[in-house]
Amino acid sequence: MLGRVKAAAQDAGLAFRGAFHPEAEDLPAGHSAGTIVMLGFIGAAQWNGFAASPEYNDGRAHPLDRWSLRVIGALARDLGAAPLFPFVGPPFMPFIRWARKAEPVHRSAIGMLIHPEYGLWHAWRGALAFRDRLDPPPRDERPSPCDACAEKPCLAACPVSAFDGTGAFDARTCSAHILRAEGATCMSGCLSRRACPVGAAHRYSPEQAKFHMRSFRGDSR
Nearby residues of 104 by Cβ (< 8 Å), 6 or more positions away: 115, 116, 140, 141, 142, 143
Per-residue pLDDT band at 1 (split at 50, 70, 90): confident
- What is the model's pTM? 0.93
- pLDDT tens digit sequence for 181-210: 999 999 989 999 999 999 999 999 999 999
- pLDDT tens digit sequence for 44-102: 999 999 999 999 999 999 999 999 999 999 999 999 999 999 999 999 999 999 999 99
pLDDT given for residue 221 in this prediction: 55
How many CB atoms neighbour CB 12 within 10 A?
A: 16
Instruction: Specify whether the CB–CB gap between 125 and 72 falls below 8 A.
Output: yes
pLDDT given for residue 87 in this prediction: 96
Per-residue pLDDT band at 220 (split at 50, 70, 90): low
